[in-house]
Amino acid sequence: MKITRENTDNVNAVIKVLIEKPDYEKTVEEKLKEYRQQASIPGFRPGKAPMGLIKRRFEKSVMVEEINKMLSQNLTRYMMDEKLQILGEPLASTEHQKPIDWEKDEDFEFAFDVALAPKVEVSLTEEDKLNYFTIKVTDDMIDQQIEMIQSQMGENVDADEVAEKSLVRGDFVELDEEGNQKEEGIKADGVLLSVDLVKDEEIKKQFPGKQKGEVLTFDPVTAYGDRHEVGHLLKISHEQADELDSIFRFTITEILDFQKAELNEELYKKIYGEDTGVKTEEDLRNKLKEEIANSLLQSSDRRFAYDTRDALVEKVNPELPEAFLKRWLKEANQDVTEEQIENDFDGFVKDLRWQL
């Protein structure tokens, strides 16, 4: 077996593998003997079929299989022994591969195109400089963080009357056509409603200004426009909700308004612990400014990493076998079109140069 390599330029090479009859003859013969022992051929006992018959039936397929196995193993071993750094995988050479006649040939030469990884040397001096951008923490950022903290640490408190965004707890009672409580009708106690989630504007207008103990009458299906949601509110089955067509009396038993947390020392201890040095709103703002600045460092680092990558790739700009890479991408991804490869190729090459 002979393996040769010709570098056609700095990043392309052709590897030729010549497999001659003595290289595979003995292996094929041993395989055929195994076939003879295992083959079940009509008219012959197992292992007794004439070798001539075995050869006529199996020799070519066995030869092709063994040569391909030998080719793969030795090509891989050659590239490892030669310490070849290649890109992608070897491809059958469209230019250098000679026709093969498996029926008549005894010696077989295979030619492969390979892409050689370029040698990359990065030479930097004090003149090579990049800006590191620090993101400024603005008052708006701090204000937004404080707003979020106050909302997260806030709570619902009792209110005297319903407002536009109140939570209202009450008891539902189904009414008959005369407006009286329906016998064996639906009842649901302690149902919590959010006024701003009521979809029907006319029904929503009934809530603001109401106080505990006051009564509203409305159709909950009309109010929410969603029978599935109404079923959960009234604690009834989906089937009952699908058939529901009634007016309900809703008696208010509790009114809750959301109150944001006050900025005080108690809140600061909840956030940072009993031993915190944050005592005033100014302390909080300074603390948040520091925290936001630290979190923004990740964005600054990420930007610097991208800028560094782009600058180094542009400076070194290693040569690549682009024609080979496009062909390899196409053969390795049969479901990808040439147009897709062309559209994505610049990004692929940029990433590859950075990896190198």
Give the model's pLDDT for residue 226. 94
> First CA to last CA across the chain, in angstroms?
33
CATH (domain of 164): 3.10.50.40
Give the residue from 215, 173, 216, 171 showing the smallest Cα distance to 192: 171
Same domain? For 110 and 161 the reply is: no
The total domain count for the chain is 2
Last residue of a domain, which of 68, 89, 116?
116
User: Do 167 and 81 share a domain, yes or no?
Assistant: no
What span, in angstroms and rounded, lies between the C-alpha atoms of 214 and 349?
72
**Structure confidence at residue 284 (pLDDT):** 96
- Within-domain flag for 240: yes
Identify the segments of the chain with pLDDT beneath 70.
none
Residue 333 belongs to a domain: no
pLDDT in tens, 186-219: 999 999 999 999 999 999 999 999 999 999 999 9
- Give the end of a domain, one of 99, 116, 133: 116
Do 160 and 99 reside in the same domain of the chain? no
Instruction: Please give the model's pTM, rounded to 2 decimal places.
Output: 0.58
Q: In whole angstroms, how large is the CA radius of gyration of the chain?
A: 40
**CATH number of the domain that residue 11 is part of:** 3.30.70.1050
Whether 226 and 173 map to the same domain: the answer is yes
Of 77, 105, 93, which is closest to residue 20 (Cα–Cα)?
105
In a domain, 202, yes or no: yes
pLDDT at 334: 87
Question: Is residue 271, in this structure, part of any structural domain at all?
Answer: no
Domain boundary among 259, 284, 313: 259
Shared domain check, 174 and 77? no
The domain of 54 spans 2-116
